[in-house]
């Protein structure tokens, strides 16, 4: 039996599913060819595997295989989408719209473009984390070229109304990008119905390997232009040069295939576990749910706790569970979560927050253990605070 704490940080990353690993292994040793080497069988095998994953990812989001561009992950995909559009459409306009709760992999590229003269509008969100569509409509200008709004938030799990945003953008002939790193395999995604022009994906949030992602780039109605941000070799139709990492790509495809097959039953199971945990924790007073109560990822629960020190809370939880207080990609910073403060939380509440990311391998027994220990920890810390 493992002495490790119960893992509840599935928004940071997920373990590679054994079925995914089994699919990947032959491509490290037996089928090790370069998919760009098309003059012999080793290259053909790798090329066929890459083609299969393109088809899998395309089918998952109702795209075509030619619209899938492989990257090292969602961060690179976001950078390629935002900077690539900014450079390609510079003559059309220099205005980009995003929202305050975006991942830093969207906010930071936008801030970088600001130093180059672009105008960035960062819209606030409502108390529940959802975008105000009327505010979005008012934010458009003649020079607006891109709107970037994530599908599912990595901290509070909120699901944004992609179809409504896409329709608003399409009516104004403005490109719509969404970071769907947390969404792929967990919620239905359809780039046609949702009128999405660019979509960032990653494997490691869906029980696939780290280090592989993809960017969907629309080819028709409209055909989206992207200026490459990485040059050398002309791979991926010139949009992203570099030898394709076949084992990771195979793992990506297998992970998404499994997730789609199990999506309905897993959604029900994770929603049940999340509600079970929330019902236990909400028995305590002054526990606040962050984000929309139902329009969120099934395995996400983010709470803020009044009357405790944030660092002490995480320290008290650590022996039993692996959780976080914010984004794993910005965990080195001492600032409170920009997502939680954007919801109107005070700095104290933002610090005293816990993100539970429930995943495929968690059980009811584990959830009950976590709930019991979390309640005991909160009660103990509150008692200590009254004695000071």
Q: Which two tokens stand for residue 243?
A: 């030898």
* Cβ neighbours for 378, distance < 8 A, ≥ 6 positions apart: 284, 287, 305, 308, 313
Q: In what order do the strands lie in the sheet with 353-357?
A: 287-289, 300-305, 353-357
Q: Does residue 98 contact residue 122 with C-beta atoms inside 8 Å?
A: yes
Q: 274, 315, 307, 310: which is closest to 292 by C-alpha?
A: 274
* Element housing 33 (H / E): none
Q: How far is the C-alpha of 93 from the C-alpha of 43, rounded, in Å?
A: 42
Task: Report the 3 state secondary structure along 334-376.
Answer: CCCCHHHHHCCCCHHHHHCEEEEECCCCCCHHHHHHHHHHHHH
Q: Is 48 exposed, middle or buried (0-12, 13-18, 19+ CB in 10 A)?
A: exposed
Which listed residue (10, 110, 169, 329) is catalytic?
329
The answer to whether 329 is a known catalytic residue is yes
Q: How far is the C-alpha of 101 from the C-alpha of 341, rounded, in Å?
A: 9
Q: Give, in degrees to the nearest 5, the angle at Cα 248 between 84 and 28.
A: 140
Helical axes 364-387 vs 246-281, angle rounded to 10°: 60
Q: How far is the C-alpha of 184 from the C-alpha of 150, rounded, in Å?
A: 12
CB atoms within 10 A of CB 36: 14
Q: How far is the C-alpha of 326 from the C-alpha of 335, rounded, in Å?
A: 10
Give the residue numbers marked as catalytic: 329
């Amino acid at each position: 039996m493992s002495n490790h704490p119960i893992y509840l940080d599935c928004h940071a990353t997920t373990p590679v599913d054994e079925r995914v690993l089994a699919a990947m292994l032959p491509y490290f040793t037996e089928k090790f060819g370069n998919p760009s080497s098309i003059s012999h069988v080793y290259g053909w095998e790798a090329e066929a595997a890459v083609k299969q994953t393109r088809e899998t990812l395309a089918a998952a989001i109702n795209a075509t295989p030619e619209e899938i561009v492989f990257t090292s992950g969602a961060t690179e995909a976001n950078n390629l989408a935002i900077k690539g559009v900014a450079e390609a459409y510079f003559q059309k306009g220099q205005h980009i719209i995003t929202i305050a709760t975006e991942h830093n992999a969207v906010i930071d590229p936008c801030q970088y473009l600001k130093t180059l003269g672009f105008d960035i509008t960062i819209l606030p969100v409502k108390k529940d984390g959802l975008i105000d569509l009327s505010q979005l409509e008012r934010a458009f200008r003649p020079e607006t070229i891109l709107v970037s709004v994530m599908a599912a938030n990595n901290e509070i799990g909120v699901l944004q109304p992609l179809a409504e945003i896409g329709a608003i953008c399409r009516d104004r002939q403005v490109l719509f990008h969404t970071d769907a790193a947390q969404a792929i395999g967990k919620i239905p995604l359809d780039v046609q119905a949702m009128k999405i022009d660019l979509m960032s994906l990653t494997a490691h949030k869906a029980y696939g390997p780290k280090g592989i992602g993809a960017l969907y780039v629309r080819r028709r109605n409209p055909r989206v232009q992207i200026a490459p941000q990485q040059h050398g070799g002309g791979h991926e139709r010139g949009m992203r040069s570099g030898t394709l990492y076949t084992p990771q790509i195979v793992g990506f495809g297998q992970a998404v295939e499994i997730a789609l097959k199990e999506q309905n039953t897993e959604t029900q199971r994770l929603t049940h576990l999340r509600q079970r945990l929330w019902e236990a924790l909400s028995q305590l007073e002054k526990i606040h749910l962050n984000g929309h109560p139902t329009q969120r990822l099934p395995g996400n629960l983010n709470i803020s706790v009044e009357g405790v020190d944030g660092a002490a809370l995480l320290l008290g939880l650590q022996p039993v569970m692996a959780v976080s207080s914010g984004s794993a990609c910005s965990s080195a910073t001492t600032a409170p979560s920009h997502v939680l403060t954007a919801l109107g939380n005070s700095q104290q509440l933002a610090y005293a927050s816990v993100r539970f990311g429930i995943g495929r391998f968690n059980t009811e027994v584990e959830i009950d253990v976590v709930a019991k220990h979390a309640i005991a920890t909160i009660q103990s810390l509150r008692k200590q605070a009254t004695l000071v």
